[in-house]
Amino acid sequence: MFSKSVSLAERKAALLKISRSLLMCLESSSSCKGTTQYTGWDFLPEQTKQSILEGSNKMEKLKAEKDGSLAWQDIHNYSRMLREGNMNWEDIPPEDLDIRLKWAGFFHRRKKVPGTFMIRLRLPNGIIWSHQLRGLCHFLRRYDLQQACFDITTRQNLQLRGIKLEDASFFLEELNQLRIGCFQSGMDNVRNIVGSPVAGIDPNELYDTRSICFALNEMISNKGKGKPDYANLPRKFNIAVGGYPVDTVHGHINDLTFLPVTKLDHLGKPLFKILVGGLLSPKRNEISHNLDIWVPEGSILEVTRAVLEIYRDFGLRNSRAQSRFIFLVEKWGTERMKAEIIQRLSRNNIEWIEPESDFTENDCSKLYSESLLGIQSQRQENKVFLGCVVPAGRISVGEAEDLADIADNFSNGELRLTVSQNFILPNIDKTVVERVLEQPLLQDKFSYKPKPLLRGLVSCTGSQFCGLGLIETKNRSLQLCKILEELVDFPDKETVRIHWTGCPNSCGQAQIADIGLMGAPAKKNGKLVEGVDIYIGGTLGENPVLGTIYRKGIPCDFAHLVPVMIELLQTHFGAKVKRSQESIN
């Protein structure tokens, strides 16, 4: 848009003109698609607004200057102006390009692939259908397939890579046709709603999470199209709903979790306990706290509404590092938090129950298979589901198209994503199991019977595409996995869960793995190199424990890392060495 001869003053004047045209568009309901009457700022109490304006939190001030929810209109306008040649993507104010557009689910990859975006969807309960996946593939095929791909996240979600901003309006229209949302999937919003990946099909489940996950998504994000009521939280907010008393949805590291108990209500349906305040972060890692209150299924939406409004209105906003929900829980104490929630429920005649003092949860730990891989029986007669591993969670466009075809042919078009970055094909007729297992994609890339290390592998995006990543993770994790499986056997262990995360933000959830590798600086021959801090002993489920540091600052090159991993696998996981590292080298 601007030539080199244009002065800085002229450039600023032109950008101001663009900003004014955007604001005029927002104010005119007839000239702007998807105009919102209110922004997230409008839902904040006056006291909170005043505190933000008087405070020193730069991100809160940025939101006060222009609310992130305005990105729901900006994304269309920027897309149009780019297509019409009225601006270049470099001309967009960086606060919009790199921050506010995340409210629309568009994440600029400035450091790695400038001018392209990662799009994070909203897929409640991790359910996606073959026609939806195929539609996404069709759109991605307009780009360089070395950059355009899918990543499964640890929230049962999909991230799409390589999309350009000028195509954003077309992409959003495609999502609308596919009935998929992406708004409010980033920044200070409620993230994808996690539920049981075997909801409605597992013979032993206590509760089918699908309906409530979809209802929560609709309430919080207007089906992923954007809802300003919850668009200006102090930080991100994670919600999970489990199908068992045992935590199978990573609920202990979510801000708000509902887990069913074996105590039934008057309708014969399970009641739910409420967990609050779990998180993994650079400064703080915390297992969630039990609020010691039960609610029936019909109260889950109102409890969620109450908690989000409490967090929005009273959450700490002075420091980004201390703004997650757990900090408000600790400031108030669990008793005050519980009392505030109960007061709001009672005011609206919403049912809640004090737990029975002598109640003992039935042992449900054996009802749920931690591994969902391979062929497993369903509650429906003559039906099975098939769980397959996705190495490091990465799927190419061609693989996704083949997977959509397999789903069409064998699982009524349905696919389900898991928090372990894998997928499930449900509702397969027993009569066609052999035909399913013969599919080349499932015999090769997406195995249903992987070896122990690949079986438990999880990896964040890493530095390949993420500007925060200190190390490359996905390719390195697969290479290390292959090397280790050639060197050692696991005679007594089916799965060893190894999680890779590129930085302390821990999107790869290193602290809940058997072995977690977190990107960190290391020294080799006196020089700084890519390295990892290693955690061990993390687990969720019946007795959740966060992992602890085993070694720090290990260089990532395999000459250093492989011996450390072999020693760790031998001493803690019963691995038996079958070949020397020198033979691999």
Two structure tokens written together for 418 = 């898991």
210 has catalytic annotation: no
502 has catalytic annotation: yes
For the chain, what's the residue count?
A: 585
Write down the catalytic residue from 122, 227, 235, 394: 235
Write down the catalytic residue from 66, 102, 120, 317: 120
The residue type of 134 is R
Q: Which residues pair with 161 in a beta bridge?
A: 118
Residues 6+ apart with CB under 8 A from 201: 378, 379, 380, 383, 385, 426, 427
Write down the catalytic residue from 161, 236, 312, 497: 236
Residues 226 and 355: their CA atoms lie apart, in Å, by 36
**DSSP H or E run through 160:** strand 158-164
Task: Say if CB 171 and CB 119 are below 8 A apart.
Answer: yes
HEC sequence for 366-422: CCCCCCCCEEEECCCCCEEEEEECCHHHEECHHHHHHHHHHHHHHCCCEEEECCCCC
Residues 6+ apart with CB under 8 A from 92: 78, 165
Residue 225, φ and ψ in degrees, nearest 5: -95, -10
507 has catalytic annotation: yes
531 has catalytic annotation: no
Rounded to a whole number of angstroms, the distance between the first and last alpha carbons of the chain is: 52
Two structure tokens written together for 190 = 């409620």
486 in helix, strand or coil? helix
Residues 6+ apart with CB under 8 A from 170: 79, 139
Write down the catalytic residue from 507, 516, 519, 538: 507
Q: Which residues pair with 14 in a beta bridge?
A: none
Task: Say if CB 271 and CB 260 are below 8 A apart.
Answer: yes
**DSSP H or E run through 295:** strand 289-295
Long-range pairs for 268-272: beta carbons < 8 A, 24 or more residues apart: 269/207, 269/296, 269/297, 270/206, 270/207, 270/297, 271/295, 271/296, 271/353, 272/207, 272/296, 272/297, 272/300
541 has catalytic annotation: no
Write down the catalytic residue from 200, 374, 502, 516: 502
236 has catalytic annotation: yes
Write down the catalytic residue from 224, 508, 531, 547: 508
Task: Compute, in degrees rounded to 10, the torsion defined by CA atoms 195, 198, 203, 204.
Answer: -40
- Could you give the residue numbers annotated as active site? 120, 235-236, 502, 507-508
